[in-house]
Structures are given as structure tokens and as C-alpha cells.
Amino acid sequence: MYGFIFRRLLSALPVVFIIAVIAFLLVHLAPGDPAVAIAGDGASDDQIAAIRRSLGLDQPLPVQFVTWLTSLVQGDFGTSMISRIPVSQLILQRTEPTVVLALYAMTITLLVAVPVGVLAAWKSGEWVDRLVLAMSVIGFSMPVFVIGYLLIGAFGTNLRWFAVQGYKSPGDGLIPFLYTMTLPAITLSTTYIALIARMTRASMIEILGEDFIRTARAKGLQERQVLFGHALRNAAVPIITVIGSGFAMMISGVVITESVFNIPGIGRLVVDAVLGRDYPLIQALIVLTGVLYVAINLLIDIAYAITDPRIRYS
């Protein structure tokens, strides 16, 4: 078991290294000189040269990379070029809204997608199933900002059931939190619900055709127990995999959702960083989300290995 975890951790290291290389090269190989961009129009050559020196841009690329990576490993992501605040501090300030939003959206997703997917698989081929499939294709095809504005139009400006912008943490009380964060969370979760409901359905249909399900039914188990006790547990692996690989999709959704609903989180920070051409911040955000993606998928793999011994040995 520990051998597996160790090997899996080891195999994640080169991926993390590659992410760092990509984040580094992205900024340094792209046409256009960051120093010129920072200096702005009408800067003299001396000013540009000074900025280049202060950023270490006059050093050879490999030297710059090693310097950058070393400070990165020590937790130093550099200083924001716009706000002059350490990047790590800037990101930390914005973390809470994003995490809260993502967790709320994930809760909605699991509460809706899994039961719906199970239902569709159980009634496979019937109208409920076709409805679920149709809804999931539509939900998957709707851009996040379209969903956001539809919800704002219907439940915000018309019915006035929910707030249409801003952020409230759960610490501000449950009612204000739900009032403000429900629309963003639904917006963010729609694509995810479509994806996971479809995956749950596919995985469940496959499992429901297995012999042990027939056995379970034959020995007189209630259908509910067959579905959720026997089938869902065995269908869970591909579903959890999708949750992990869908994390990257979630980040894209967060960027757009936060922009639509004016939530001061990481997603807004991404847009601000790009609009302000804040290179250290962009690099840090790429590295952090990349590493988070690797870490989440690593944890999922380890979770499999703990629950299913077959995976450990293959």
C-alpha cells in the first residue's frame, strides 16, 4: 500500500516540474517583452533596461528558471507588478470565496447528478432516461455565462428571490449566504451536473447488467438496496474519476461565474491579472491550479487503491 502511494507520488513529480516549465516558458517565450509592457508607452530605453534588470530578465533563460523555481519551492511567488503586494498574499486573500463557491457547487452537483444518473440508468430506455440524456446534452452545451444570465434574469431581476452579485461567506449567516451564493453555485454546477449525471448513468447501466446484480435481486433485496448498495458502489470509480478530471473544467467555470456575479475570488484575480499583464501573478496562478489538479487526481488514485486492491497491483 505505502509502496503504491510512494510510486504514485514519485510519478507526479515530473508532471509538476513540467507545469512549472510551461508556466515559465509561457511568459518568457511569448513574443513581446514584459519589461516594455510594464514600462508602458513612452518609457525610455534606460527605464526599460532598469525594469529588465530588476526582474532578472537580463539573465540567460536557464538561470532565470532556476532562480524562479528555487524561490517557488520556498513558497515565494514573487511580487505583483500592479498592486506591489506579494503574490502569495494576494492569492490567499481571494481564496475563500472561490473555495466556498466550489464546495457549494460541488454539493449541489452530487445531490442532483448522482440520483438523476441512477434514475436514468434504472429506467434505461424509458422517457425519464431520454429526458435526462436530453437535459444533460443541453446543460453541457450551455456556456456558463449564458446559464448565469438566464438565472439572473429569471430569479434575480424578475422574481427577486436571490441576489445577483457580491459575496457572502457562510460566516455571515445561513440566509444571507444562501441568498447571495445560490445562483452562482447553480451556474457553476450546471455543466458539471450534466457531465456527472451522464457518466453515472453510463457506469450504472454497465454495472446493472452484471451477474451479481441479478443475484442480489434474486435473493429478494429491495430495489433501493440493489441500486445504491450494490450497483452504485461498484459504479463509483469512473464517476469519481470524472470529478477529478473535471476539476480543470471547474476552474474555467469559476473564472466566468465570478465575473458574471462579481465575486472577489481567484477567478476574478485571473481576469485582473491578465488585464493588468501581471506576469508573476499569472505564473503563480498557473502553477498553483496545475499542482492542485495533480494533487486532486493523486488523492483520487490513492483513494481507489485503498478501496479496491485490484488497482494497487496493476
Write out the residues near another protein by the rule CB under 8 A: 14-19, 21-23, 26-27, 30-32, 34, 121, 124, 137-138, 140-146, 149-150, 152-153, 157, 198, 201-202, 205-206, 248-249, 251-252, 255-256, 259, 270-271, 273-275, 277, 282, 285-286, 289-291, 293-294
* CB of 150 vs another protein, minimal distance in Å: 8
C-alpha span between 94 and 124 (Å, rounded)? 44
C-alpha span between 29 and 155 (Å, rounded)? 46
* CB of 174 vs another protein, minimal distance in Å: 28
* Complex with another protein: residue 14 or 171, whichever CB lies closer: 14
* Complex with another protein: residue 46 or 147, whichever CB lies closer: 147
206 CB contacts (<8 Å, ≥6 apart)? 235
User: Which grid cell sits at 244?
Assistant: 477529478
SS3 content of the chain, % helix, strand, coil (to 5): 80, 0, 20
* CB of 113 vs another protein, minimal distance in Å: 15
User: Which grid cell sits at 174?
Assistant: 445561513
For residue 56, give the nearest of 32, 28, 26 by alpha carbon.
28
- Is residue 300 within 8 Å of 6, Cβ to Cβ? no
73 CB contacts (<8 Å, ≥6 apart)? none
* CB of 220 vs another protein, minimal distance in Å: 26
* CB of 172 vs another protein, minimal distance in Å: 25
* Complex with another protein: residue 65 or 149, whichever CB lies closer: 149
* Complex with another protein: residue 149 or 228, whichever CB lies closer: 149
* Complex with another protein: residue 180 or 200, whichever CB lies closer: 200
